[in-house]
Structure 1
Amino acid sequence: MLKRMKAAVAATTAVVLSGTVASAGGLSDAIVEAPVIVEDPVEVGPTGGSLPGWVIPAAIVALLIGVASSSDDDDGEKRR
Structure 2
Amino acid sequence: MKKVVLASVLALAAASASAGSYSEPMIEAPVIVEEAAGSSLGGGAALLLLGALAVAAIVAAD
Please report the TM-score for the alignment, with normalisation by the length of structure 2. Answer: 0.38
**Structure showing the higher helix proportion among its residues:** 2
Please report the TM-score for the alignment, with normalisation by the length of structure 1. Answer: 0.31
